[in-house]
Chain A
Amino acid sequence: MSNSNEDYILKINNIEVKYHEVILVLKGVSIKVPKGGIVALLGANGAGKSTTLKAISGLLNHENGEVTDGSIEFMGERIDKMRAEKITKMGIVQVIEGRRVFEHLTVEENLKVAAHLKRKGKKVKEGLDMVYHYFPRLKEKRNILAGFISGGEQQMTVVGRAMMTDPKLILLDEPSMGLAPMLIHEIFNIITKLNKEEKISMLLVEQNAKLALNVAPYAYVMENGRIVMDDTSEKLQDNEDIKDFYLGFSEHGERKNFRNVKHYKRKKRWLT
């Protein structure tokens, strides 16, 4: 991976995030996303992954949070003090956690709402066709209220909805949450396809580390609001700590028997 600045679409430099001006949730987080690449962000519950995404997309301000130190650069421009709608206009869209469709609008209206910033008239139609091309299932359900479709279809709707904003970078927050393995597989296939064919960069937050490391060539590991490790996925997959704590294999490569895990004996080799 080359280190020249132009190759990165997003650069987070050493940011610190506080909620309500006192609660420190992120400390010295630095992440880089290459142009057209996929980067995964791993970590347990409460590690600060979603907060990192919200800091990028500007949704943080809405929750009384603030980037108090460091900077976030998107295509060379600082965005950490911008309003969320401006950031979306620049080409970053966050798919928030938990399949938040607009329940009382139809699937197609869900998609159309998202188009309001950049697409007008004919371009809305083009956008719809593009989304239906990647998610043929949504085309079948387009006139049904989004509250009534299945969980997998709702996840497709929110990803499709994000596509309608014409993004350059998509921040995906746990797209696999609460879905059947087969559906997860289907959705991740489409996500990789979007990355390859539409040249959209992605920052992927996942708890399912195995899945994330398969999709993304590079990953960061977060714990307690810090980045504790970052490397190529291949190397991370071989790392003993990652295997132990995230992938669930023992040192011999067998499936781990959780009865034998003694966390107090096994120290992590990084500082938290």
Chain B
Amino acid sequence: MENFLNVIVSGIMTGGIYALVALGWVLIYKCSGVLNLAMGEMTLIGAFVTLSFYSMGVPFLLAIIISLIIGFLLGLLTERIFLDKLIGESILSTIMLTVGLSFFFKGVVQLIWGVDNYVFTPPVFSLEPISIGPILFKEVFMWSFVAAVILLIIFVSFFKFTRWGLSMQATADDEMAALSLGISARFVYSIAWAIAFMAAGVGGTLLGNISGVNISIAHMGLTVLPAVVLGGLNSVPGAILGGITIGVMESLVGTYVDSWLINTIGVPLSIKDIAPFVFMTVFLLFKPYGFWGWERIERV
């Protein structure tokens, strides 16, 4: 029982990080309808930037803030250089462009930092597990979760209560109509990319503290995809719920199914990584718009 609780709690906490990265997806999808397939690589860049500053002796919190600022600028720059020309073109070509971007980013990272695994030295978070009652977890998980929750609250209120949040939703709904009211699509997109880059950076940094910083963080981008789809592609609360669901599921499957496979059948398979995708596929059969996604309104 205690073990079960532990598994659930660590699942929820990893889910917090997933939710953060998922938020980057949602943000860009919500205002431009583009599925940003370079999200994983943006996460990677964020992680490396924080790591570089931390290794230079900058305090961790400051390193994160610097990484946020750089993420913001890189987001703006990416939108300006690569995506600006595609405003008004078909969504599919923009999505293909993000595929290209993902290779480009990965190449740049390999060029600058190589393919080695780096760890935050000295470790930022203590390795001693914290215990609350019977539940044990590492400090890094707790802080990741807290950071995720804080950022999520900020984002949700941004969409609900600010005029720019509203403009973003309007642009998502009908770009032409938004433009006719003087909402600048260029501005909305740049902000979305900038914020997405920031969210990805924080997610990457936290992840790097758990498993080290290397090129495989980029796969996170895809791992998070089920979380985004599950929540409904354009729902911020959906991204949170989806992230946590996927986190818990991975943790459960990893602990119980995978160990059962090894111990009983003797096959060292890792079902954990594909479980979310299987779940996503089945789930979509029943709820094609996810938990809270926008359904296409059709009046009869």
Contact = CB atoms under 8 A, between A and B. Distances in A.
A94 B178 CA distance: 11
A201 B183 CA distance: 22
A265 B88 CA distance: 45
Contacts of B87: 62
Contact of A161 (B88, B169, B181): B181
B184 interface: yes
Interface string A159-202: 00110010000000000000000000000000000000000000
Interface stretch (A17-25, A107-115, A213-221): A107-115
A89 B182 contact: yes
A116 B297 contact: no
Given A88-B181, A114-B181, A104 B294 contact: yes
A15 interface: no
Contact of A62 (B169, B179, B182): B179
A93 interface: yes
Contact of B173 (A57, A63, A103, A114): A103
A100 interface: yes
Interface secondary structure of B, over-half rule: helix
A85, A88, A145: most-surrounded residue (chain B CB, <10 A): A85
Interface in B182-237: 182-184
A93 B180 contact: yes
Given A84-B182, A105-B169, A100 B297 contact: no
Contacts of A248: none
A89 B164 CA distance: 16
Contacts of A100: 174, 176-177
B179 A85 contact: yes
A165 B182 contact: yes
A96 interface: yes
A102 B299 contact: no
Contacts of B176: 59, 62, 96, 100
A36 interface: no
Given A109-B166, A116-B163, A145 B297 contact: yes
The 3 closest A-B pairs by CB, nearest first: A88-B182, A147-B297, A100-B177
10 contacts: A59-B176, A63-B88, A100-B174, A100-B176, A105-B169, A110-B170, A116-B163, A147-B299, A148-B297, A162-B181
Interface of A: 57, 59, 62-64, 83-85, 87-89, 93-96, 100-105, 109-110, 112-117, 145, 147-148, 151, 158, 161-162, 165
